[in-house]
Amino acid sequence: MTNFWSRILVAVVGLPLVLYVVWLGGGWLFMLAVIAAMLALHELFWIARPLRPLVLAGYTGASLALLGAWLGGPLWMTGGFLLTLPLAFVLKGISQTRQSLTVAVATTVLGAAWVGLGLAHVQLIRELEPAKDGRLAVFTVLLAVFASDAIAYFAGRLLGRHRMAPTISPGKTWEGLAAGTVVAVLVPFFALYHSDFMNVWQSLVLGAVIAVAAPLGDLFESAVKRDLNVKDSGRLLAGHGGMLDRLDSHLFAAVAAYYTILALH
């Protein structure tokens, strides 16, 4: 099966399941987020193994950030994440690796922040009150990112002529970015058009923020993989690559969208 058709198959099977769990929210979403975070961190720490990350500290910090976001909101999320640093320091002290403490701890904290806080903000969006607004907001953000990413991919394959970041991600084009930007703006506009959650201009601002943040998340992961000399973070999701490859845009977009919603609403 080609990468093209495997991408289609994974999306058709996986997207409805993910959206159903997001709709349920609460503990169900927390469990899904923990599973996704553990898989993504495993991929990141595996490709970054020459840097000797303290994987137990990374898993713990990300899990506590997700738990805090579910049980107590942003303050608890931050407190849970901040435990990553002292735990990584302690584990480095008792480990046998000769890697620089700065490099090992920094890699660990990066993973917990990138993956753990990114997914925790998906939970924070879902927990916005009233519940119907939180559900609408998280669906809007997730679908905007997914649709813009998909359209950018297909537009780049069909129409792409001008490379956007050839040294970081040679496959990405300006044509694909333009198509993805349009979709990222339109999805919140139509999703929120008849709602009381946001008015027209607020939905357009949210879409513009997603249009900027999602590609940056994608490029950030591409830069990390390029730095570590790997093409994909894994093969778990066939044509989509690994879990981290699938989440990269969402990890930046969820954070940006959450604070944009707070500022506008």
**Domain layout of the chain by residue ranges:** 3-264
Chain segment 17-70, per-residue pLDDT in tens: 888 999 999 999 999 999 999 999 999 999 999 999 999 999 999 999 999 999
Quote the pTM value.
0.91
Cα(106)–Cα(211) distance, rounded to whole angstroms? 29
- Read off the pLDDT band of 237 (50, 70, 90): low
Amino acid (one-letter) located at 146: F
Beta strands of the chain (E only): which ranges?
A: 163-165, 169-173
Are 122 and 142 contacting, i.e. CB atoms less than 8 angstroms apart? yes
Backbone angles phi, psi at 172, to 5 degrees: -90, 140
Alpha carbon 231 to its chain centroid, in Å, reads 18
Chain segment 77-118, per-residue pLDDT in tens: 999 999 999 999 999 988 877 889 999 999 999 999 999 999
CA angle 235, 239, 241 (to 5 degrees): 35
Tokens of 8: 């289609």
Looking at residue 11, its pLDDT comes to 66
Q: What one-character-per-residue DSSP string does 66-112 give?
A: HHHHHHT-HHHHHHHHHTHHHHHHHHHHHS---S-HHHHHHHHHHHI
